[in-house]
Amino acid sequence: MRIVVFGGGYVGCVTAACLAKMGHDVTIIDVVPSKVEAVRTGHSPILETGLDELIREGVAAGRLHASLAEEEGERRLVEANMAVICIGTPSRPNGVMDTRALTRVFESIAAGVEERKEPLTVVVRSTALAPILRQILAEAEPRESVEKLRLVMNPELLRETTAISDFFNPPMLVVGGDDPHAVDHAMSLYEGIQAPRFKVGLETASMLKYSCNAFHALKIAFANEIDTLASLIGADGKEVMNLLIQDKVLNISPAYLRPGFAFGGSCLPKDLRALEALARANHQPVPLLSSVLPSNAQRIDQAFQLLLSGQARRLAFIGLSFKKGSDDLRESPYVELAERLLGKGFDLQIYDSDLDPERLVGANMAHAMEKLPHLARILVGSPEQACAAAEAVVVCKRLLEPDFLKTLSSRGVLIHDVERMASEARPESLLPKRPARAPEKAAHG
């Protein structure tokens, strides 16, 4: 394919050189003369292991070119099969992304496709959120040319010093967009590369790189704070973390990495407070660990505010203990939610097949009586009893059969799943967006 890569920086040069290695005819477009000249003479404008050799090989083979934007960028677009955007997306002082360079590139692409008869697939590898890209396109001119662009997002997962290896051996290949043909077209760039392939919506794809980087940062900060706390009691933080990663079932695994409702139970909240207390006693801040419980409480508040804003006041509350198969009410987020709803005058009928008030003992009983002193009166023995007069059902635990829920819904009863209520409660974006594609996992390449 004939490919035009906008941006001769880190991502752009690596992407262009690797695509040329795969046999594509690639032109790098940049506004900095020194970058263009470096590529033209077979050198890398950035320091990256193996990139000098790869660029030199691509230029010598006649598959890698470089041009200044004003020289022939528009002509190249007329002939191109695809455009790939790899420009930087720096932050402004307030943290908001500076979109000026991205806007200029889209304007340049729009100008360059005026003479094209066929649509052009535009692949964004720059890190940018989909609503921002949609807004830039919505405001770009001329409109006739913009309509020829088929936007997709293909987040790069490259690490400095290992970028070439990462390109050819990625953990996954992800392409997102509204147009299935454009998504397939972009995915075809990587024919021959062995990796799991995922076709998703534009919004999902645009969140991936941000999520990966946030998770990497989170892990580093977590390890550092554990090291700080370990040193306070004479423990070796590195040894603690080396032991922690031996658990591949819960610690280093997909466990818990699933959006849902707040955590609870007798262990997680208690132990987080103990670590915070240790830090306070030694006047040592641990801002990451100290933020976890407030973040957890916010999840409960989102569900509460959504229910409070609705019309339904008679609720069937399905599930109360902190997880299925347990009758432990200690610090259950569902107990917290039920308590707040009762305090606002909601009529609750609670059903939980895991719960028998007569078997509650010790701290579990004390917590139940403190939070829900009338539990015995509002706890019922069957889903039918709980839902008989309900205007809405709040599903905390998966205790109801799907057919039962469908019957309720057909009667006009609202169904609220707490696992999904955070997304129900989100404010409408001020930026333009479209419905995302349903996630699709393609066959391995």
The sign of the torsion formed by the CA atoms of 47, 53, 56, 57 equals negative
Q: At what angle do helices 202-232 and 268-281 cross, to 10 degrees?
A: 50
Q: In what order do the strands lie in the sheet with 414-417?
A: 379-380, 347-351, 314-318, 392-395, 414-417
Q: In what order do the strands lie in the sheet with 173-177?
A: 64-68, 25-30, 2-6, 82-85, 120-124, 149-153, 173-177, 197-200, 440-442
Residue 395: strand pairing partners:
318, 417
8 Å CB contact between 365 and 294: no
- Mention every residue, 6+ apart, whose C-beta is less than 8 A from residue 42: 52, 55, 56, 59, 60
18 is catalytic: no
| Measured distance CA(322)–CA(366) in Å, rounded | 16
Active-site residue, from 13, 86, 212, 267 = 267
Q: Is 185 exposed, middle or buried (0-12, 13-18, 19+ CB in 10 A)?
A: buried
Bond prior to 142 in cis (omega within 30° of 0): yes
Q: Is 5 exposed, middle or buried (0-12, 13-18, 19+ CB in 10 A)?
A: buried
| Measured distance CA(210)–CA(197) in Å, rounded | 19
8 Å CB contact between 4 and 121: no
Q: Strand locations in 312-418, DSSP E?
A: 314-318, 347-351, 379-380, 392-395, 414-417
H/E segment holding residue 27: strand 25-30
At CA 18, angle to CA 9 and CA 10, rounded to 5? 15
Q: Is 389 exposed, middle or buried (0-12, 13-18, 19+ CB in 10 A)?
A: exposed
Q: Is 298 exposed, middle or buried (0-12, 13-18, 19+ CB in 10 A)?
A: exposed
Catalytic residue positions? Answer: 267
